């Protein structure tokens, strides 16, 4: 096991290039198996999660090459249709292979997915949508088993208790592209990663209309072809580096990003008194000695992202006043609160709300990461804290941030990875 040692109190200054979006790359890699012939994907981040997805494809029989953030996938050799527990248990997004496999091969067997411990995330919407397309599904010994002779289009409502589901939308949209007839998905997710997946599928030959809205119309086609495509930049990574610059009172410019994917974050920062400059492909932020408390409510896109909630909480621990953070996507996603308090924060929980009373300073301590975004929040807090912070179980970070400490070190962070 490895940990981070962070010497806090050093402002970050300089430029950081955003990597490709993990949450766009994974469903697009999965969808590539539906194409006839080779698919080439650019701007794929080198992460544990992308490596795991490619291992699953290799296990199934696909030929895979990964070099310099480019993936080549030739799916013609796929002869297995079971995604084993040892892969799927580490990464929830592996479930987005279910729709593509059923569409292309008519059968799939998947272990129930794992991933970060951020509260219950059932796959009932995935199964509901696929059943509407004609898939027979049963559960046996921890596996979901699906089979279908011919997918048929249908009208499907995908709303859940906490809004639309990104991965369920991805699964059903992929399956519908090869279904007979027309499919209408109501209450579809409209996240940029879903738009990216739709654009990729359309380049393969799919007929999809309405991406970016809550209603998708998909007209099934007989086959899709392999293609070449470039993944969008990662909006969550971009937001994380913005907040890293601000919490350390530095000045950071993030390049190769799409600012319009982060309007909710920029709105809250402006409310806190932070000015944000941006162009078509960059965002620049400059920290202040003081910033105001603000209230946050996480919501599906274009609302404030749940994947930036923990990082924003770290930033607000040093705000002037009291902030209230309401988590409406994953109401139990507050495991990081206890660890931030170990660093001197003043945060209390009230159900799905966190009340953050700003403090004058944070103090370095030993803390433990619990999930991917919580890990990033602890790094941000450690960068701002006085003295040394040790963060254990940082393997979570490697799932979602490419060259994290390397990028931070280049802009002035005193952070190093050591063995426990």
pLDDT exceeds 70 at position 121? no
Question: One of 96, 116, 190, 257 is an active-site residue; which one?
Answer: 116
* CA 408/CA 15 separation, integer angstroms: 10
- Whether 264 shows a pLDDT value over 60: the answer reads yes
- What are the start-end ranges of the H helices in 248-397? 263-271, 309-316, 336-342, 372-384
Residue with tokens 């929040």: 377
Sheet of 63-67, strand order: 63-67, 70-74, 39-42, 228-230
Which residue, 315, 337, 310, is CA-closest to 385?
Answer: 315
Tell me the two tokens of residue 363.
Answer: 């103090």
Q: What is the pLDDT of residue 93?
A: 77
Instruction: Give the span between the Cα atoms of 192 and 211, in whole angstroms.
Output: 9
Mark whether 116 is an active-site residue.
Answer: yes
- pLDDT category of residue 148 using cuts at 50, 70 and 90: very high
From 164-168, 182-186, 223-227, 365-369, the region with the lowest mean pLDDT: 164-168
26, 372 Cβ separation under 8 angstroms: no
Determine what percent of the chain is predicted with pLDDT higher than 90.
87
Residue 222: burial class (beta carbons within 10 Å; 0-12, 13-18, 19+): exposed
Give CA 261 to chain center in angstroms.
13
| Domains of the chain and CATH, by start | 2-15+234-419 (3.65.10.10), 23-230 (3.65.10.10)
> How does pLDDT run across 89-104, given as a tens digit for each residue?
777 778 899 999 999 9
């Amino acid at each position: 096991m490895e940990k981070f040692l962070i010497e806090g109190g050093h402002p970050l200054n300089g430029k950081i290039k955003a990597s490709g979006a993990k949450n766009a790359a994974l469903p697009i890699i999965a969808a590539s198996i539906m194409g006839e012939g080779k698919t080439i994907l650019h701007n794929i981040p080198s992460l544990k999660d992308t490596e795991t997805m490619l291992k699953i494809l290799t296990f199934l029989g696909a030929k895979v090459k990964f070099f310099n953030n480019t993936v080549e996938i030739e799916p013609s050799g796929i002869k297995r249709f079971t995604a084993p527990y040892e892969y799927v248990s580490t990464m929830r997004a592996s479930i987005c292979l279910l729709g593509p496999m059923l569409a292309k091969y008519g059968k799939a067997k998947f272990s129930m997915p794992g991933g970060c411990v951020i509260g219950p995330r059932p796959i009932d919407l995935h199964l509901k949508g696929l059943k509407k397309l004609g898939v027979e599904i049963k559960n046996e010994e921890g596996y979901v088993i699906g089979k279908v002779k011919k997918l048929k289009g249908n009208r499907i409502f995908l709303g859940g208790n906490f809004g639309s589901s990104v991965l369920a939308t991805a699964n059903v949209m992929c399956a519908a592209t090869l279904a007979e007839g027309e499919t209408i998905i109501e209450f579809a997710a409209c996240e940029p990663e879903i738009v990216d997946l739709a654009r990729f599928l359309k380049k393969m030959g799919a007929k999809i209309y309405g991406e970016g809205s809550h209603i998708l119309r998909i007209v099934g086609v007989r086959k899709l072809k392999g293609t070449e495509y470039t993944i969008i930049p990662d909006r969550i990574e971009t937001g994380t580096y913005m907040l890293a610059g601000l919490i350390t009172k530095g000045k950071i410019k993030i390049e190769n990003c799409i600012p319009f994917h982060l309007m909710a974050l920029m709105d809250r920062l402006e409310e806190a008194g932070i000015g944000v400059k941006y162009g078509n492909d960059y965002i620049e932020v400059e920290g202040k000695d003081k910033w105001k408390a603000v209230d946050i409510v996480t919501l599906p896109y274009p609302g404030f992202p749940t994947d930036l909630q923990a990082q924003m909480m770290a930033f607000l621990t040093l705000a002037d006043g009291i902030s209230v953070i309401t988590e409406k996507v994953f109401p139990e996603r507050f495991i990081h609160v206890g660890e931030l308090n170990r660093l001197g924060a003043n945060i209390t929980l009230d159900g799905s709300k966190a009340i953050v009373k700003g403090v004058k300073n944070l103090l370095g301590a030993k803390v433990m990461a619990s999930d991917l975004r919580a890990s990033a929040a602890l790094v941000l807090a450690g960068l701002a804290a006085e003295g040394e912070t040790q963060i254990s179980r940082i393997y979570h970070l490697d799932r979602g941030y490419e060259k994290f400490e390397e990028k931070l070190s280049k802009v002035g962070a005193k952070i190093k990875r050591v063995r426990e």
